[in-house]
Amino acid sequence: MNFKQIQSYAVSEWEAMLNSQKPRILIGMGTCGIAAGAEDVAEALNEKLTQHHIQADIIRVGCIGLCYAEPLIEIIKPGKPSIFYGNLTPELISEIVDDYLVGDNPRPDLALGTRGDGTLDGIPRLFDLPVLKRQVRICLRNCGNIDPENINHYIANSGYEGLARALKMKPQEIIDEVKKSGLRGRGGAGFPTGVKWQFCHDAPGDIKYIVCNADEGDPGAFMDRALIEGDPHAVLEGFLISAYAIGATEGYIYIRAEYPLAIQRLRVALKQMEEYGLLGNDIMGSGFNFHIKVKEGAGAFVCGEETALMASIEGARGMPRSRPPFPAQSGIWGKPTNINNVETWGNVSAILQRGAEWYANHGTEKSKGTKNFSLAGKVNHTGLIEVPMGITLREIVYDIGGGIPENKRFKGVQTGGPSGGFIPASLMDLPVDYESLAQAGSIMGSGGMVVMDEDTCMVDMTRFFLTFTQAESCGKCIPCRWGTKQMLDILEDITNGKGKPWDIELLEELAQSVKDNSLCGLGQTAPNPVLTSIRYFRDEYEEHIKRLHCPAAVCKGLAKAPCSHTCPAGVDVPRYIRFIGNGQFDEALAVIREKIPFPSICGHVCPHPCEAKCRRGQIDEAIAIRVLKRFAAESGNGLWKERAKMAPATDKRVAIVGSGPAGLTAAYYLAKQGHAATVFDALPEPGGMMRYGIPQYRLPREVLAEEIEEIRNTGVDIRTNTRISSMDELFEDGYNAIFLAIGAHQGTKLGIEGEDSPGVMEGVSLLREINMGNEVRLGNRVAVIGGGNAAIDVSRNALRLGAREVTIIYRRTMDEMPASKEEVEEALHERVRIEFLTTPTRMESKDGMVELTCIRMELGALDASGRRRPVPIEGSEFTLDFDTVITAIGQMPEAPEQFGLPLIKGNTFQVDPDTLATTREGVFTGGDAVTGPATVIEAIAAGRKAAISIDKYLGGSGEIDETLVPPEEVEALPEIEEGEKPRILVPTLPLNDRLNNFAEVELCLRKEIAIEEARRCLRCDLEED
């Protein structure tokens, strides 16, 4: 058969399949599909079809790229658009057969999307979904559409037309065509492909070799595997075209042994090519002879480097050599050799099939065409994608990738594997092209893209990459062999809490030296993760080195248990949870008391950053740490008092301005260190925001009063109704030190027209009025502007004060809302409405109502915090009428300037973050007055820090920690069965009992339930390193 005959045979087979009256079912059988359970699904499908006597064409296809939705099946019923079903199980596929193949219900609830002509009700078009809409399929054109083990499928889809065309051209014409297409090497460095071919073409020599580099060794990359598994002929066609253009008669495919399925598909493809005369002698009757050998790589990352790869093919250790001579002059066995990456060949076949001009229409001026990426890590839609060059990273992560799972904060992406670098969230609008990525300090690389979120530690990630490159360094040149080792040693020290102050500079110096002096690409690029992580995340290094703190709670040497490491006050969470699990509630309370004086208050209102990092959450759900703390506080007795520290009196006196959690905590520990502590507060009752901000239905007054009483019991003198406005007077009165903990009691203005109109109120002052017991009239329709905890508190208060309709107006979406999730849920449960993506622009008093003009927003570029910035949609203004409008968008300290200390952004005090000392001797400050509005636990942590610094300042040791429970014997770690125990549900007051009163909403756990929940703890603290 000549090629024309082969083509018409292939086309007729293909069309017969398309026009068949039998249903056609495509099953994704890439490695990821199989790993996700595609074999089991296929088996269930077969059984079900046999059971119903349904004849169907079943085609095993490669990966379409939606790995997150595997196992994935496409069903085409004659005359209907095809339907994709994802995340299948044997049970679900059986249902689909029953409902759609036997019946006629396409099950929109299980369908991902349709493709082809026509639409089906309730099912979107697959390529209209954000995950696919921005993708352009050139290289991956057939992946997921054809049977990769059937060459006819490839040929029927224009396959080998490019080769047929090329064989009629002169080699130079092919090279010119590739040059014109603008194609650059997809292995990572981006050298123009046509130019590379030209070198090898022009090199003298009868024998030339060509090599396909399929040694995809970058951890985090699987593009080449997916391409070979899904469409091996696309690569092989390009390979043949190049061989002909260069004048090579022998080719090697160097593929890593870790890809058994890809190797198998490749071998099948080669056999079929031979059968069709597309490989061997006199290909397509052109006189062109070409033979291919498959070489399985034996596991060495350095063999991705071309000179090392050639050494490996020759049978030697895969070690690089210096260039020149370049492989184009002297490669395998000293003969001219051309090496390109798998993806490059996949593009070459498309270019010869459809022409250079068509190809050059895609991409940017300097980076033409598309690029495949394997999108993985902390992103919702993990998978294989092909995007036009020039697309932004944000579009990849948010539109295609669907954002970050569980609404965690996005930190950045890593491109190019161990040779690449980190790109922070703030640079997410960077276009993806060779130059832009290099400028940011990373590289395009072969296409691995790993998304990182707040739970990823950048120092740990850098250490991870250096562990890899250090192990993979071939050892030939000193800079790489020793440099990577030295960098790794330093990084290990830092992650183990042994970092030295000069380590960052030393790392930078080493990195530069390894980069400049290494022999091959491995060593020259190995420092990239170090350099970019320091460039963009230097603060994380500093946290590790200076404060022995891993913000992501990942580094095991620093963060034994991520919960306690994340707790600002360092409460030993696993230990008290363990005591609760053992029924030892007195001990549990005492453990909490070792670090904080407000166990019950925290048990009621703490936003529990610990739970977000709880390792149990990786298995099913986090431990309900906060409510367990409340349980311990309410069930434990006074055991903690037995060993409580009380130092003999010193003659030192400390004045504390402000009786919020920061001020009271500092006073408590200072009193226990023997100092006379006096707390002043302008308001009638102590407690600060705990008394005048947090609503009673969350924190009953008795709870607050009891814990403040324990503070008084240490001898702290609390003077309310006393406003302090001058520190000089305090010093004159004989105080030796002052702690300013004045909080942030002043609401921030929106700065829009009409904000001072009657009927417009400010949130914090309103909460204060309510909590003072003053009468407040809000009317029926209330709007609250803001998205933080204060906005939620105001809304829920408004309902309790009789408002019928409360609407929160927030400029971003639920995902970005800073308020704690459980508070938002309770508010919604109590029927608070939230208008997302809306911001007020104007307020006006009209007929006793407030007319609020708002504008709709949409999310745009990312800001430095990794959240998407809301942008107004022009012309979308609308108005709403309310009885009252309350602004709750932020707070700042009240008149801090009167203390004569330097202020910074947000009108807060400037301090030394480690000691909380101000510029004035003997004056310290902390809490909301420094951080802006934060949480009770952060204020407690500030109070502790202040107590330590002030005690030291007054000549003490600064040792405020207590051992209230002597160390206990601990039994071995429990074995946890997955899904066996979901997190407990916290009992709450029924909705009808909540409104028109301020009764506490959340109820305390029953003993048995608390013990059960505590036993879910994985006890990370007991793990050995």
Partner 1 sequence: MANRTAVQDTQVLLPEQETTIEERLSDILSSYQGREDELVPILQHIQQELGYLPEPAIKQIAKFLRLPEITVFGVATFYAQFKLVPTGRNVIKVCRGTACHVRGGARILKEVEKQLDIKPGESTPDLEYYLETVACFGACALAPVVVLNDRVRGKMTTPKVRGILNITASSKSTDTVTK
Site residues for partner 1 per CB under 8 A: 31-32, 34-36, 67-68, 70, 216-222, 225-226, 257-260, 295-301, 312-319, 374-378, 382-384, 414, 417, 448, 450-452, 456, 461, 464-465, 468, 472, 474, 615, 618-619, 975-978, 1023
Query: Contact at 8 Å (CB) between 752 and 844?
Result: no
CB nearer to partner 1: give 972 or 985: 972
CB nearer to partner 1: give 257 or 861: 257
SS3 187: coil
Among 394, 383, 344, which residue's Cα sits nearest to residue 132? 383
Beta strand spans in 328-475 (E): 337-341, 370-377, 383-388, 410-415, 421-424, 448-453
CB of 628 to partner 1, least distance (A): 22
Please, what is the Cα angle at 914 between 910 and 915, to 5 degrees?
75
CB of 1011 to partner 1, least distance (A): 21
Give residues with Cβ within 8 angstroms of 603, minimum separation 6.
626, 627, 628, 629, 630, 631, 632, 633, 634
CB of 396 to partner 1, least distance (A): 14
CB of 393 to partner 1, least distance (A): 16
- Report DSSP state, residue 395: I
**Residues written for the chain:** 1025
CB nearer to partner 1: give 383 or 695: 383
Q: Where are the alpha helices (DSSP H) in 339-457?
A: 342-354, 356-360, 393-394, 434-439
Alpha-carbon distance 832 to 826, whole Å?
A: 9
CB nearer to partner 1: give 378 or 544: 378
CB nearer to partner 1: give 364 or 473: 473
CB nearer to partner 1: give 111 or 452: 452
CB of 374 to partner 1, least distance (A): 6
CB nearer to partner 1: give 62 or 597: 62
Strands 781-785 and 410-415: unpaired
CB nearer to partner 1: give 732 or 975: 975
Alpha-carbon distance 902 to 317, whole Å?
A: 64
CB of 324 to partner 1, least distance (A): 23
Token pair recorded at residue 720: 């309310």
CB of 32 to partner 1, least distance (A): 5
Alpha-carbon distance 518 to 2, whole Å?
A: 52
CB nearer to partner 1: give 172 or 618: 618
C-alpha dihedral, 623 to 629 to 634 to 637, nearest 10°: 120
CB of 464 to partner 1, least distance (A): 5
CB atoms within 10 A of CB 440: 19
Give residues with Cβ within 8 angstroms of 643, minimum separation 6.
590, 962, 963, 964, 965
CB of 261 to partner 1, least distance (A): 9
CB nearer to partner 1: give 345 or 739: 345
Among 301, 300, 354, 352, which residue's Cα sits nearest to residue 188? 301
Among 53, 10, 287, 50, which residue's Cα sits nearest to residue 152? 10
CB nearer to partner 1: give 318 or 607: 318
CB of 37 to partner 1, least distance (A): 9
CB of 831 to partner 1, least distance (A): 38
Burial of 751 (0-12, 13-18, 19+ CB in 10 A): exposed
CB nearer to partner 1: give 382 or 673: 382
Token pair recorded at residue 731: 């010093």
CB of 375 to partner 1, least distance (A): 8
Q: What are phi and psi of 1007, to 5 degrees?
A: -55, -50
Beta strand spans in 672-715 (E): 676-680
CB nearer to partner 1: give 454 or 503: 454
Alpha-carbon distance 549 to 547, whole Å?
A: 5
CB of 408 to partner 1, least distance (A): 12
CB of 337 to partner 1, least distance (A): 13
Does 324 sit behind a cis peptide bond, omega within 30 degrees of 0 on the bond before it?
yes
Query: Contact at 8 Å (CB) between 997 and 800?
Result: yes
CB of 84 to partner 1, least distance (A): 16
Q: Output the DSSP codes for 955-1001.
A: TS--------S-----PPPPP--TTSSPPPPPPB--GGGTTTS---S
Query: Contact at 8 Å (CB) between 574 and 563?
Result: yes
CB nearer to partner 1: give 232 or 754: 232
CB nearer to partner 1: give 460 or 928: 460
CB of 974 to partner 1, least distance (A): 11
Query: Contact at 8 Å (CB) between 487 and 514?
Result: yes
Amino acid, res. 794: V
Query: Contact at 8 Å (CB) between 748 and 769?
Result: no
CB of 401 to partner 1, least distance (A): 11
Q: Output the DSSP codes for 12-81.
A: HHHHHHHT-SS-EEEEE-SHHHHHTTHHHHHHHHHHHHHHTT---EEEEE---S-GGG-S-EEEE-TTS-
CB of 717 to partner 1, least distance (A): 50
Give residues with Cβ within 8 angstroms of 63, minimum separation 6.
28, 30, 31, 32, 33, 143, 144, 226, 229, 230, 383, 384
CB nearer to partner 1: give 298 or 646: 298
Q: Bridge partners of 368? A: 363
CB nearer to partner 1: give 347 or 462: 462
Amino acid, res. 719: R
Alpha-carbon distance 638 to 711, whole Å?
A: 14
SS3 518: coil
CB nearer to partner 1: give 107 or 481: 481
